Amino acid sequence: DAMVIQNPRYQVTQFGKPVTLSCSQTLNHNVMYWYQQKSSQAPKLLFHYYDKDFNNEADTPDNFQSRRPNTSFCFLDIRSPGLGDAAMYLCATSRAQGLDAFFGQGTRLTVV
């Protein structure tokens, strides 16, 4: 059974048109992460939540926002996608920071 579910698997959006990616988990984990991964590169952490505490990485562009309305769900909002934002976006969860992270299957974002 899937434990970290990302929707949609594939998303095509227009340049500058806001887009939201979603992640849900059935593990009741405290921590949820969003990563961006571009071709042949390691995933890059954008931000994470510890419960409701939001932690932004220093080099995450302002164009990227996140919401976590409850333990199970977390959203990644890209306010004005550029061509350079085309990537795989990965969601992961863990009980506590640095432990036993479980990844979703990712959402592949294409910007046209």
Measure the CA–CA gap between 59 and 4, rounded to whole angstroms.
26
Cβ nearer to another protein, comparing 69 with 98: 98
Measure the CA–CA gap between 106 and 4, rounded to whole angstroms.
10
Q: Which residues bind another protein (CB under 8 A)?
A: 3-4, 10, 33, 35, 37, 39-40, 42-45, 48, 88, 90, 97-106, 108, 110
For residue 9, what are the contacts with CB-CB under 8 A and spacing of at least 6? 105, 106, 107, 108
Look up residue 7 and give its two tokens: 């929707």
Cβ nearer to another protein, comparing 81 with 104: 104
Look up residue 62 and give its two tokens: 């302002």
Q: How far is the CB of 39 from another protein (least distance, A)?
A: 4
Cβ nearer to another protein, comparing 14 with 110: 110
Q: How far is the CB of 62 from another protein (least distance, A)?
A: 20
